[in-house]
């Protein structure tokens, strides 16, 4: 469905992604794990096309130079030059790190903002779906998003991304800052979304443990490079992965 080959991203002279290759097949959940600054968000920006907007803005304001190399293919099409909104129209939708909701807008408004690519019928149907997926949101629709708990905000952020009718959902650190019990609710939504909606998912996290049971395949990044990759079972059987990422 999506393949990335030889991705390199430099922020000025700083190499943030070093020759990253990755693939996500139709219907897969793919994990990307790595510590702070490993390059997870840069990778998500590169797959979603947002890096092109960031590069453009930096250039306009005379800021740092961002250089990109490598190829991204999606369903047989080279998309490396496509802007984020063009990729979103093709079904690649990013749910960004730290949610980035509109704090003063209501939950319902935040969800509706996501539906800018949906028809009216699709928007109505998907809103119903999001409220079934995350029932706590039903009572919060009129509440300003900024007043919600971290877990509720993450549900809104995922809901907003679903409203954009993704075929490939990019989830950047969805568990960041959430209590373990709430993490579980968010994590368990991932296979449900895949199974019920046929949406493929690439999910990044610092800690592999909560997400690992749900991934088909995973990559481990360190300092912008892939140091390990494999199926869930291959990685779970690997003693290095266990000690580094599961603390056992």
Among candidate residues 189, 228, 196, the one with its CA nearest the CA of residue 210: 189
Dist CA 51 CA 177 (whole Å): 24
Tell me 137's DSSP state: G
Stretch binding ligand ATP (CB under 6 A), from 20-28, 39-47, 104-112, 125-133: 39-47
Element (H, E) at 66: strand 66-74
Judged by beta carbon, residue 10 or residue 102, the one nearer ligand ATP is: 10
Candidate residues 20, 42, 159, 165; the one interacting with ligand ATP per rule CB under 6 A: 42
Candidate residues 3, 10, 11, 185; the one interacting with ligand ATP per rule CB under 6 A: 11
User: What is the per-residue binding string for ligand ATP in 189-208, x denoting contact by CB under 6 A?
Assistant: -----------------x--
Does 16 engage in binding with ligand ATP (CB under 6 A)? yes
Copy the structure tokens of residue 42: 């840069």
Least distance in angstroms from the C-beta of 245 to ligand ATP: 14
Dist CA 18 CA 35 (whole Å): 15
Does 48 engage in binding with ligand ATP (CB under 6 A)? no
Among candidate residues 157, 159, 160, 193, the one with its CA nearest the CA of residue 175: 157
User: Could you list the residues that contact ligand ATP (CB under 6 A)?
Assistant: 11, 14, 16, 34, 36-42, 64, 97, 206
């Amino acid at each position: 469905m999506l393949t990335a080959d030889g991705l390199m991203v430099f922020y000025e002279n700083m190499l943030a992604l070093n020759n990253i290759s990755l693939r996500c097949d139709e219907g897969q959940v793919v994990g990307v794990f790595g510590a702070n600054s490993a390059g997870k968000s840069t990778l998500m920006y590169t797959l979603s096309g947002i890096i092109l907007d960031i590069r453009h803005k930096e250039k306009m304001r005379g800021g740092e130079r961002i250089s990109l190399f490598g190829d991204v293919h999606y369903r047989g099409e080279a998309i490396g030059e496509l802007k984020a909104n063009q990729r979103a129209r093709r079904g690649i939708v990013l749910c960004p790190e730290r949610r980035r909701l509109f704090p003063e807008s209501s939950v319902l408004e935040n969800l509706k903002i996501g539906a800018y690519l949906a028809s009216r019928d699709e928007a109505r149907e998907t809103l119903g779906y999001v409220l079934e997926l995350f029932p706590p949101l039903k009572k919060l629709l009129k509440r300003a998003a900024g007043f919600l708990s971290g877990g509720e905000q993450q549900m809104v952020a995922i809901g907003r991304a679903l409203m954009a009718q993704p075929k490939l959902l990019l989830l950047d650190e969805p568990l960041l800052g959430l209590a373990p019990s709430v993490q579980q609710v968010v994590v368990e939504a991932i296979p449900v979304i895949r199974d019920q909606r046929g949406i493929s998912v690439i999910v990044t996290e610092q800690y592999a443990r909560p997400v690992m049971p749900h991934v088909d395949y995973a990559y481990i990044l360190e300092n912008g490079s892939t140091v390990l990759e494999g199926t869930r079972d291959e990685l779970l059987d690997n003693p290095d992965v266990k000690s580094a990422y599961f603390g056992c």
